[in-house]
Amino acid sequence: MTPETFKSEYGIDARVLHEVEEIDPENRRVLVKDLQSKKGRWEPYDRLLIATGAVPFCPKVPGSDAPGIYGLHSLQSGITVRNVVDTERPRRAVVVGGGYIGLEMAEALLLRGLEVSLVERGTQVMNTLDPDMGALVSKALVEVGIGLYLEESLEAFEAAGGRVTAVVTDRRTLPADLVILGLGVRPNTALAQRAGIPLGVRGAIRVNDRMQTDTPGIWAAGDCAESFHLVSRRPVHIALGTIANKQGRVAGINIGGGYATFPGVVGTAVSKICKWEVARTGLQEREIRQLGLEFATATIKSTTRAGYYPQAGPITVKALAEKGSGRLLGAQIVGIEGAAKRIDIFATALHAGMSVQEMINLDLSYAPPYSNVWDPVLVAVRQADREVRSAS
Amino acid sequence: MTPETFKSEYGIDARVLHEVEEIDPENRRVLVKDLQSKKGRWEPYDRLLIATGAVPFCPKVPGSDAPGIYGLHSLQSGITVRNVVDTERPRRAVVVGGGYIGLEMAEALLLRGLEVSLVERGTQVMNTLDPDMGALVSKALVEVGIGLYLEESLEAFEAAGGRVTAVVTDRRTLPADLVILGLGVRPNTALAQRAGIPLGVRGAIRVNDRMQTDTPGIWAAGDCAESFHLVSRRPVHIALGTIANKQGRVAGINIGGGYATFPGVVGTAVSKICKWEVARTGLQEREIRQLGLEFATATIKSTTRAGYYPQAGPITVKALAEKGSGRLLGAQIVGIEGAAKRIDIFATALHAGMSVQEMINLDLSYAPPYSNVWDPVLVAVRQADREVRSAS
């Protein structure tokens, strides 16, 4: 790796000057490499925090090293793409991958006036939603003017004159002046693995509730580390800034000699594509089936504000609950402004282990600019409660 | 009462033709008066629901019956004021009372181009907020252009030519073409009281969790009935549509032979004044002191979206928690668009009886259009947790 320099939004010039090349847990020391002199030296530690984050998946297809193809995994990579848009004025962009990064980049490029296509291998974008809710997002993408190509696999990139010129799928060739890769990330744990630090789910570093690894003196936090999923009650790897921040806080308190635990996550995430808001929390149908649980679902349509209020618009809320107990298992929301943040009600209820029956009478806020008298969340849990009863 | 006719927003003509004048629980019958013929007749009942709502407080001051003075307590009264604004083109409006109705009417009239003054007897508007948060609302009112007169008591109305011309306080005379009364409501329970049905807190009809009164065969729901406050664990009277609707649903299920209970409320309410959003839930400082509880508070300032995101704006969040246990007791929010609905996170946590410590790691949604990585709610509960620890 060469020194990376960037100027942050806040005007701070930052530069990576050193890099840890090896960890030697036996002797509690790390091999630090000076990126300019290329020299290394061993440095001792009492406590070590591994916060190496995640690395983006890169497709192994012909032409993937052509200039004009960008992944987004650091502040610098975002700045680079913005500079390219500003200076090179690309006209056509192709986004590969329909996850959060792909969708948010598609929005950003669309708003900058580019013609945007999105290629996704799966049957839907946003695969952390159930197919029925994902279909609403696909529809929204098309509505805002994005060319959507589902169930198409990336096969190659074409280049000419030292620049990418097209994205080739198994069905077509899409001309492109700019390509964005949004194929997801995996924990960046090569360093930890070489040091023999035990890894867990999906290759993330295994940690306890205090963010300690199984190796004495070594802690891990952020996108490189596992979390505990409070609904599935299993370890999970979710690479999101909210979780990384919370883990970092807990690790920092503990490393500093305090005491803190990170109880876990419920899998909340939210995104925005032009006027459309998308949110999810808890488990989706596929995950619930994998756990062998039986469940009921309820999907309701309502409005973000009182129906007669200006700027009221559609919101679809899906709630998933366990048969028998009625325990809330997850929820998904697609709608216009004001829709997405409602997912936090479900997230809080998941933390508290509430049933949909208990949620029916939640004293949620109402005034016409914000909601109907029965908030869409309440309508969904009422319906889910009925489904749980009729199903069990 | 004379027959009241109105045309609803949905084009339905509705007319009140009959009114119950007396309830005779002994013989399970009601005296029904035909409002046109003025004749009454006794009708038997098996089960009776009292849903008489609330009546607005009317000030007993000289001139209060002058034309041009309006209360707002029914759909018809709202329609009437709108018609007056449309046809009589009043220029100056004075709103008496700084509660939800007063503030929302002040906004509505301001948006219709009237010059609006608001008179409030107390030291702050929105007295369901603590004084520090109420002060933010007062500031917002002045900012949007409302003439605010705090700590002024209504003394009289002046009239000329058969119309109100001014509102007289103990400090000044405010010229007015239109006066709106927003002095709150009380449960409309005269009928119930005459029938000997036991009343409870603030004169509201006492009910159990199934919305049954203490009188066999008689149920009550809505603004005329009590609720149970889940945080103070005491009966309470809160006249809001959300509660009325939930109570009505529970009463209806039970009267129809089913089984449902209404566990209670946490005192959530929300309002909007132009660009400002105001929300509260749980107990405020005054109420906590009345219960003899000791508590800590935390008030934090943040932004509604990521600080660098367009349209990010101020949000102030106050959290109140019990000393020792750290149990969340209440929360208040004042901010711009996107601020208010966050109160539902606190409301859900209050239902679940969560402590601020348990809330610190809530997996709330984050993306730059919606929030900072640490949602303002999390920043507030983190601060409250520190206060609880340092105070105990």
Secondary structure (DSSP) of A120-179: ESSSSSSTTS-HHHHHHHHHHHHHHT-EEEES--EEEEEEETTEEEEEEESS-EEE-SEE
CA B335 → CA A367, B100, B304, B305, distances in Å? 16, 16, 8, 11
- Tally C-beta pairs within 8 A across A and B: 153
What pLDDT score was predicted for residue B133? 98
Closest CA to A221 of A230, A213, A229: A213
Average pLDDT over residues B22-27: 97
CB contact under 8 A, A242 and B373: yes
Q: Which residue intervals of B256-341 are DSSP H helices?
A: 285-290
Q: How many helices (H) and strands (E) does chain A have?
A: 9, 24
What does the alpha-carbon distance between residue B248 and residue B325 come to, in Å, rounded to a whole number?
35
Q: How many helices (H) and strands (E) does chain B have?
A: 9, 24
What does the alpha-carbon distance between residue B130 and residue B200 come to, in Å, rounded to a whole number?
26
What does the alpha-carbon distance between residue A179 and residue B378 come to, in Å, rounded to a whole number?
37
CB contact under 8 A, B370 and A270: yes
Longest dimension (CA), chain B: 70
Chain B partners within 8 Å of A266 (Cβ) = 363
What pLDDT score was predicted for residue B28? 97
Residue A343 φ then ψ, to 5°? -60, -25
CB contact under 8 A, A340 and B271: no
Give the list of residues 6+ apart from residue B135 with CB closer than 8 angstroms, or none.
B124
A37–chain B nearest CA distance, Å: 37
CA B301 → CA A362, B320, B371, distances in Å? 27, 15, 13
Specify the length of chain A in residues: 392
Closest CA to A368 of A304, A300, A314: A304
What pLDDT score was predicted for residue A15? 75
Give the whole-number percent of chain B exceeding pLDDT 70.
96
Secondary structure of residue B288 in the 3-state scheme:
helix
B23–chain A nearest CA distance, Å: 30
Burial of A159 from C-beta contacts in 10 A (0-12 / 13-18 / 19+): middle
CB contact under 8 A, B340 and A370: yes
**What letter represents residue A202's amino acid?**
R
CB contact under 8 A, B363 and A281: yes
pLDDT in tens, B272-286: 999 999 999 999 999
Chain A partners within 8 Å of B370 (Cβ) = 270, 272, 277, 340-341
Residue B6: pLDDT band with limits 50, 70, 90 = low
Q: Which of A363, A371, A385, A389 to mutate to test the interface with B (most CBs of B within 10 A)?
A: A363
Name the more confident of B262 and A391.
B262
CB contact under 8 A, A348 and B343: no
Alpha-carbon torsion angle A373, A375, A380, A384, nearest 10: -70
Domains of chain A (ranges, CATH numbers): 1-45 (no CATH), 56-185 (3.50.50.60), 275-391 (3.30.390.30)
Chain A partners within 8 Å of B345 (Cβ) = 344-345, 348
CB contact under 8 A, B338 and A341: yes
Closest CA to B303 of B293, B291, B295, B314: B314
pLDDT in tens, B199-251: 999 999 999 999 999 999 999 999 999 999 999 999 999 999 999 999 999 99
Residue B15: pLDDT band with limits 50, 70, 90 = confident
Q: Please count the other Cβ atoms lying within 10 Å of the Cβ belonging to residue A21.
A: 12
Residue B20: pLDDT band with limits 50, 70, 90 = very high
Closest CA to A319 of A351, A279, A352, A292: A279
Question: Does pTM top 0.90 for this prediction?
Answer: yes
| pLDDT per residue rounded down to tens, chain A (392 residues) | 444 555 555 555 667 889 999 999 999 999 999 999 999 999 999 999 999 999 989 889 999 999 999 998 888 899 999 999 999 999 999 999 999 999 999 999 999 999 999 999 999 999 999 999 999 999 999 999 999 999 999 999 999 999 999 999 999 999 999 999 999 999 999 999 999 999 999 999 999 999 999 999 999 999 999 999 999 999 999 999 999 999 999 999 999 999 999 999 999 999 999 999 999 999 999 999 999 999 999 999 999 999 999 999 999 999 999 999 999 999 999 999 999 999 999 999 999 999 999 999 999 999 999 999 999 999 999 999 999 988 55
Radius of gyration of chain A (CA): 23
DSSP code of residue B336 = S
What does the alpha-carbon distance between residue B170 and residue B155 come to, in Å, rounded to a whole number?
6
B173–chain A nearest CA distance, Å: 33
Specify the length of chain B in residues: 392
